Structure 1
Amino acid sequence: MSRVAVVTGANKGIGLGIVKGLCKQFDGTVYLTARDENRGQEAVKELNKQGCQPRFHQLDVSSLDSIHRFKQHLEQEHQGLDVLVNNAGVMYGRSNPTPLVEQVEVTMSINFFGTLNLTKVLTPLLRPHARIVNVSSMMGGLSYVTPPLRQTLQSEQLTEEDLVQLMEQFISDVKSGVHEEKGWKMDTLAYRVSKMGVTALSRVLQRQFDANPGTDIVVNALCPGWVRTDMGGPNAGRSVEKGAETPIYLALLPPNVRSPRGELLLDKEVLSF
Structure 2
Amino acid sequence: MTEKVAVVTGANKGLGFAIVKGLCRRFNGIVYLTSRDETRGLHAIKKLNGMGIKPNFHVLDVTDKQSVTDFARFLKERHGGFDVLVNNAAILEWDQVYPSFEAAKRNIDTNYRSLLTIEEVLYPLLRDGARVVNVSSACGHLSNLRNRRWLNILTSKDLTTEDINNFVDEYLENVKNGTVDNNDFADGGKHSEHRVSKIALTALTMVQQKKYEKRNISINAVYPGHIKTDMAQGGGQLDPDEAADTVLYLILDASPKIRGTFMWDNRKLVDWYDVEGDYYYRHQC
Q: What's the TM-score once normalised by structure 2's chain length?
A: 0.89
- 1:192 alignment counterpart: 195
In structure 1, C-alpha distance between the alignment counterparts of 2:144 and 2:123, rounded to whole Å: 31
Gap change, CA 1:203 and 1:33, over 3 Å in 2: same
Shift of 1:143: 2.3
Unaligned runs of 5+ in 2: 273-285
Contact kept in structure 2, 1:152 and 1:158, CA below 8 Å: yes
In structure 2, C-alpha distance between the alignment counterparts of 1:191 and 1:123, rounded to whole Å: 25
- 1:261 alignment counterpart: 259
Gap change, CA 1:97 and 1:205, over 3 Å in 2: closer
Shift of 1:165: 2.3
| 2:76 matches 1:78 | no
In structure 2, C-alpha distance between the alignment counterparts of 1:110 and 1:13, rounded to whole Å: 17
Unaligned runs of 5+ in 1: none
Contact kept in structure 2, 1:133 and 1:221, CA below 8 Å: yes
In structure 1, C-alpha distance between the alignment counterparts of 2:243 and 2:167, rounded to whole Å: 30
- 1:21 alignment counterpart: 22
Q: Deviations over 1:120-143 (max 9, x none)?
A: 311110101101100001122222
Moved more, 14-23 or 140-149: 140-149
Gap change, CA 1:152 and 1:201, over 3 Å in 2: same
Gap change, CA 1:217 and 1:98, over 3 Å in 2: same
Gap change, CA 1:129 and 1:97, over 3 Å in 2: closer
| 2:158 matches 1:160 | no
- 2:207 alignment counterpart: 204
Give % identity.
Answer: 39
Q: Secondary structure at the match of 2:43?
A: helix
Shift of 1:202: 0.3
In structure 1, C-alpha distance between the alignment counterparts of 2:134 and 2:144, rounded to whole Å: 20
Write the letter of the residue equivalent to 1:231: M
- 2:134 alignment counterpart: 134
Moved more, 95-104 or 128-137: 95-104
Write the letter of the residue equivalent to 1:172: E
Shift of 1:249: 1.2
In structure 2, C-alpha distance between the alignment counterparts of 1:177 and 1:98, rounded to whole Å: 11
In structure 1, C-alpha distance between the alignment counterparts of 2:97 and 2:150, rounded to whole Å: 28
Q: Within 5 Å, which residues of 2 pair with 1:1-273?
A: 1-93=2-94, 95-96=95-96, 100-145=100-145, 146-180=147-181, 183=184, 186-210=189-213, 212=214, 215-253=215-253, 257-258=256-257, 260-266=258-264, 267-273=266-272
- RMSD over equivalenced CA pairs, Å: 1.8
Shift of 1:88: 0.3
Q: Secondary structure at the match of 2:101?
A: helix
In structure 2, C-alpha distance between the alignment counterparts of 1:140 and 1:133, rounded to whole Å: 14
Give the length in aligned residue pairs. Answer: 267
Contact kept in structure 2, 1:89 and 1:110, CA below 8 Å: yes
Shift of 1:144: 2.6
Contact kept in structure 2, 1:149 and 1:183, CA below 8 Å: no
Gap change, CA 1:11 and 1:98, over 3 Å in 2: farther
Gap change, CA 1:98 and 1:187, over 3 Å in 2: closer
Shift of 1:147: 2.1
Q: Deviations over 1:39-93 (max 9, x none)?
A: 0000001001111110000000011011100100101110001001000000011
Moved more, 179-188 or 137-146: 179-188
Contact kept in structure 2, 1:131 and 1:253, CA below 8 Å: no
Contact kept in structure 1, 2:85 and 2:133, CA below 8 Å: yes
Shift of 1:179: 2.6
Moved more, 175-184 or 12-21: 175-184
